[in-house]
Structure 1
Amino acid sequence: MTTIAKFSKSSPLLGRAIAIAVGSLATMSYLQSARAEEAGVTTVQARPALDESIRPFRIHVDQSQLDDLKRRIAETRWPDRETVGDISQGIQLARVQDLVRYWGTDYDWRKAEDQLNALPQFITTIDGVDIQFIHVRSRYPNALPVILTHGWPGSIFEFIKTIGPLTDPTAYGGKPEDSFDVIIPSIPGHGFSGRPTDQGWGPDRVARAWDVLVKRLGYTHYVSQGGDHGSVISDALARQAPKGLLAIHLNMPATVPGDLMRAINNGDAAPAGLSPAEKGAYDSLSAFFGRNAAYGAMMVTRPQTIGYSLSDSPSGLASWIYEKFVQWSDSDGVPERVLTRDEMLNDITLYWLTNTGASSSRFYWENNNNNFSSEAQKTKDIKIPVGITVFQKEIYKAPESWSRQAYPSLVYYHQVERGGHFAAWEQPQLFAQELRAAFKSVR
């Protein structure tokens, strides 16, 4: 989940707070890079800033790092259990212990490596930072290039199950003319992309890097899709409107009017005159900011401080992330109904092995903006076509009235009955259907 409210970095907290790669793939161990960084060696800018080459990429984590992970899990010092019978004090001790014990005994990271290495993966340097990405071309001519951007606590794993439906639509009920070429990058500071060593890697800078990436791959036109961080980055890209960007699609759009966002942050009751859909959205966000947004406030204001825990304790990292799967998936609080334990642990383990707890948190600090507010995201500055899909258990269900007011160039709006915040991961075929429909007008 991206930054959820605007805070001052110097003042007290305000408000209530996812074919085989062609050629030989170079094996890269980012755990070795992490050890080099700890020894004072900078690895983010391993190549000259002007190097525009696209290099094949393959993942292999040293066994010593996996052994170290298991050791740390086995040596976890657990807190005492919560004093309530629900999640109101945080994710429950027994649930985290069950997940972490499975992580330390039965989970196999090598299967995740094999899954990623079976896809065409690459790395390229943009603006001094390495960008790792998956690039799968459709077998159909005239496929529409789409760049898919993950959020937090997601990763490239979010989109892997969508690759088939998007690139080979005829196998999933679509038509050849529905096909996409798929580009799935890791945001800088996340996954196997580099960790920026300078400030300024917020949504606008990432958006500019995405345009460079797509054009470096040889495309002259494309579309962008995102939820969470990906929504904010897609909004930024659309505001910049680089030549060749045809449209964007969002799941978690910034539609809340500025005055209502301020009232929500102040803890005010819903004002009179809202439609049932608008009041439902207002109340959902009020509950979110009032009881469930403290994690975001921490990452916005003190990413380095929370980073120490996320870098040192696998159990701490697992609980920090698993709680969001519990709260934000369309699963009635049991994410295992829509994502397997291995799928969730693939994501958690990626954060652990790449040691990106702190660097991914810094994106919140860089953004420092309210990602639900149409005013904060300047959505009215967007002139290219916009599509929105509202999934049933998103953090809030953006009403059509707010969506049309926020995005004057809105060409597609649809509410669906399944799926949560991790829509592409939870409902990959439905997600692909929505992209086909949303981008139909720009093909």
Structure 2
Amino acid sequence: MPLPTNDIHPFEAHASEADLDDLRTRLSAARLPETETVYRSGPDARRWAQGVPLDDLRDLIDYWNTDYSWRSFEARLNEIGQFRTTVDGLGIHFLHRRSTRPDAVPLILTHGWPGSVAEFVDVIDELANPTDPHAPAFHLVVPSLPGFGYSDKPRVTGWGTGKIASAWVSLMEKLGYDRFAACGGDWGGVITTILGGRFSEHLLGIHTTFAPGPPGLSMNGLTELERTWANDAHEFWHHRAGYAKQQATRPQTIGYSLVDSPVGLLAWILDKFAEWTDTDDTPFETISRDRLLDNVTLYWLTRSGASSARIYAESHNSLDPDLRVDVPAAITMYPHDIEKYPRAWSQERYRNIVRWRSPEHGGHFPSLELPDHYIADVRAGLAEVLAAGD
């Protein structure tokens, strides 16, 4: 295993009081539209038919302005261990928690949009140092995507998922991890897939909640549930993916609103958490208000609204249709995720699936919605991946 390099520097998050005061001032001065013109008695998912309901947003703005503590989240990030390094000329921020176990396996865990490293702060400790001595342990590396959080914002085009995957290999090599496992969902699932397909010499295997097959596969032979999954994904991309088309085509335009208005940023992100979680009415049935606001405040303080949106312009529909993944793969399809693929389709790309699961509950953010289940699933999946590799 290569030795770690010396261009990795400790990093501590600390927002200025001026920035926090400015946030509170903007929240107090927010101009809100009129109430939505749809069915409004809750709890009922129909309240969200036109987007975030006014009453819900107003309540959350008030909580953000008066009771929420950013300093608590800052302290948690600093407790885990934060670092920065430079890869391909770009500063990359990452969390790094080394396990105390001598048999621990390096694991890179990649978030997507509208997430961040905040997605994983509640699962890192148990994955690194499990209370069960028989559970697998991992050296956790959790990077912020380029343009997200405390990573630098690319100033030129080219930072799509392929280049990010290559950067993750360089990052892991800098840390002394020549071979490692990878895990992710959303854009993190795309990057994890590319790692498994293009950089197999470095990969012990992968765990992903996003596992698309190559385009153009037939629905013949699929079960009724698998047909429903395929139709749901088609319906999503044709009728409910306006945010993705906006960010893929005009990220700069929407970026002005996301960087200038904390309320606009909150609504833009909250809308996705509400639609993509396995809940009946609001995402706060499974995710705490504080954790969602940790995520949104990280976007706000780092002015990441535009730069994070650009990953869509760089990478939308760019997964190579000919890419194949032959390293061992564990795949989990959560029932309320926005894209679920039949196993018959996924295995056309992921040709060494050693574990396939479709739980009864969970959505797009399983590490936040079901942290205990997510930990158990990642452990079980990667245990089978590592056994298959051995």
Is TM (by shorter chain) over 0.5?
A: yes
Q: CA deviation at 1:380?
A: 4.9
Q: CA RMSD in A?
A: 1.8
Q: CA deviation at 1:291?
A: 2.8
Residue in structure 1 matched with residue 125 of structure 2 by the alignment: 164
Residue in structure 2 matched with residue 337 of structure 1 by the alignment: 285
Question: Contact 2:207/2:378 (CA < 8 Å) preserved in 1?
Answer: yes
CA distance in 1, matches of 2:68, 2:381: 38
User: Does residue 68 of structure 1 match 2:26?
Assistant: no
Kindly provide the amino acid, as one letter, of the partner of residue 250 in structure 1. T
Question: Contact 1:52/1:126 (CA < 8 Å) preserved in 2?
Answer: no
Kindly provide the amino acid, as one letter, of the partner of residue 76 in structure 1. A
Mapping for residues 262-277 of structure 1, pairs under 5 Å = 274-277=222-225
Q: CA deviation at 1:88?
A: 1.9
The match for 1:350 among 273, 279, 298 is 298
User: Does residue 82 of structure 1 match 2:36?
Assistant: yes
User: Does residue 258 of structure 1 match 2:216?
Assistant: yes
Judging changes above 3 Å, is the alpha-carbon distance between structure 1 residues 404 and 77 closer, same or farther for their aligned structure 2 residues?
same
Judging changes above 3 Å, is the alpha-carbon distance between structure 1 residues 111 and 119 closer, same or farther for their aligned structure 2 residues?
same
Residue in structure 2 matched with residue 419 of structure 1 by the alignment: 362
Measured against aligned partners, the alpha-carbon deviations of 1:54-112 in whole angstroms (never above 9, x if no partner) come to 00000111000000000111111111121112222211111111111111121111111
CA distance in 2, matches of 1:434, 1:174: 17
Measured against aligned partners, the alpha-carbon deviations of 1:197-224 in whole angstroms (never above 9, x if no partner) come to 1110000100011001111001121011
Question: Contact 1:235/1:379 (CA < 8 Å) preserved in 2?
Answer: no
Q: CA deviation at 1:301?
A: 0.4
Question: Contact 1:380/1:407 (CA < 8 Å) preserved in 2?
Answer: no
User: Does residue 442 of structure 1 match 2:386?
Assistant: yes
User: Does residue 104 of structure 1 match 2:58?
Assistant: no
The match for 1:136 among 97, 113, 136 is 97
CA distance in 2, matches of 1:115, 1:357: 23
Question: Contact 1:137/1:182 (CA < 8 Å) preserved in 2?
Answer: yes
Judging changes above 3 Å, is the alpha-carbon distance between structure 1 residues 52 and 243 closer, same or farther for their aligned structure 2 residues?
farther
Q: CA deviation at 1:412?
A: 1.5
Question: Contact 2:196/2:203 (CA < 8 Å) preserved in 1?
Answer: yes
Question: Contact 2:324/2:349 (CA < 8 Å) preserved in 1?
Answer: no
Question: Contact 2:230/2:341 (CA < 8 Å) preserved in 1?
Answer: no
Percent of aligned pairs sharing the same letter = 41
Kindly provide the amino acid, as one letter, of the partner of residue 292 in structure 2. M
CA distance in 1, matches of 2:143, 2:321: 25
The match for 1:321 among 239, 246, 269 is 269
The match for 1:127 among 88, 92, 98 is 88
Question: What TM-score does the superposition give when structure 1 sets the normalisation length?
Answer: 0.81
Q: CA deviation at 1:297?
A: 0.5
Q: CA deviation at 1:333?
A: 3.0
Question: Contact 2:92/2:151 (CA < 8 Å) preserved in 1?
Answer: yes
Kindly provide the amino acid, as one letter, of the partner of residue 216 in structure 1. K
In structure 1, list runs of 5 or more residues that go unmatched: 1-50, 261-270, 371-375
Question: Contact 1:311/1:357 (CA < 8 Å) preserved in 2?
Answer: yes
Q: CA deviation at 1:377?
A: 4.0
Kindly provide the amino acid, as one letter, of the partner of residue 167 in structure 1. A
Measured against aligned partners, the alpha-carbon deviations of 1:174-230 in whole angstroms (never above 9, x if no partner) come to 615x11110000001000000011110000100011001111001121011010010
Kindly provide the amino acid, as one letter, of the partner of residue 119 in structure 2. E
Question: Contact 1:52/1:124 (CA < 8 Å) preserved in 2?
Answer: no
Residue in structure 1 matched with residue 159 of structure 2 by the alignment: 201
Q: CA deviation at 1:435?
A: 1.9
CA distance in 2, matches of 1:245, 1:400: 22
Residue in structure 2 matched with residue 175 of structure 1 by the alignment: 134
The secondary structure found in structure 2 opposite 1:381 is coil
Q: CA deviation at 1:259?
A: 4.9
Residue in structure 2 matched with residue 149 of structure 1 by the alignment: 110
Measured against aligned partners, the alpha-carbon deviations of 1:103-157 in whole angstroms (never above 9, x if no partner) come to 1121111111111111111110111111111111111102011000000110001
Kindly provide the amino acid, as one letter, of the partner of residue 339 in structure 1. I
CA distance in 2, matches of 1:417, 1:304: 39
The match for 2:206 among 231, 245, 248 is 248
Q: CA deviation at 1:423?
A: 1.1
Alignment: residue pair count:
375
